[in-house]
Amino acid sequence: MAGRFAGTREGRLLVVAGLLALGVALVVPAVAETQEDDFLKVAPLPDGIGAVEPIPGAVNVQFQDCEAVWPDGYRAWRTESIATEGHAALGDIYGWLRTKGAFEARACDCAAKVAPWDQVEVIYAALKSRYGQVLLKHTAVYEDQARQYRAAVERMCGGPF
């Protein structure tokens, strides 16, 4: 987050507001910052996600066929050939955002399956601020939920994500 709010109280409040809008709950650890994994937690999965029914008449569009509307940040991320945990963590977060978005929209088109990249950067920045370096253990919950959202969307849409 560059600009006049970077590193300020207002900047931190903007990050917190953005995370809350994305369904990321900020949890204050009971023991003063000794429980890293309690700092950023995603909201619990919706009830019944494993039993979601197909959408009658749904026309499934695979995410890979939505390239025309992929955000620039995602395009840049895909072209990087950096095999780092940070790079993989960004992928975990984006996978979560797009599968969660499609599930919540109950839709199978590109508009539902493509998420804005700036939300990835907000979550990543918050994780980096907390941990110094973002490791896969910090994004494992995003990746796990993304798998479950993907399976539900594939059932709803009758085809691959």
Per-domain residue ranges for the chain?
55-157
- Distances in whole angstroms, Cα of residue 97 to Cα of each of 35, 112, 123, 133, 146: 25, 10, 10, 21, 8
pLDDT given for residue 90 in this prediction: 95
The reported pLDDT for the residue numbered 18 is 53
pLDDT in tens, the chain (161 residues): 444 444 444 444 444 445 545 555 443 333 334 444 444 567 788 888 988 999 999 999 999 999 999 999 999 998 886 777 888 999 999 999 999 999 999 999 999 999 999 999 999 999 999 999 999 999 999 999 999 999 999 999 999 99
Tell me what pLDDT residue 85 has.
81
CA–CA distances in Å: residue 102 to residues 51, 140, 151, 152: 16, 20, 11, 10
**Rg of the chain taking only CA atoms, in angstroms:** 16
Give the Cβ contact number of residue 84 at 10 Å. Answer: 12
**What's the confidence (pLDDT) of residue 70?**
96
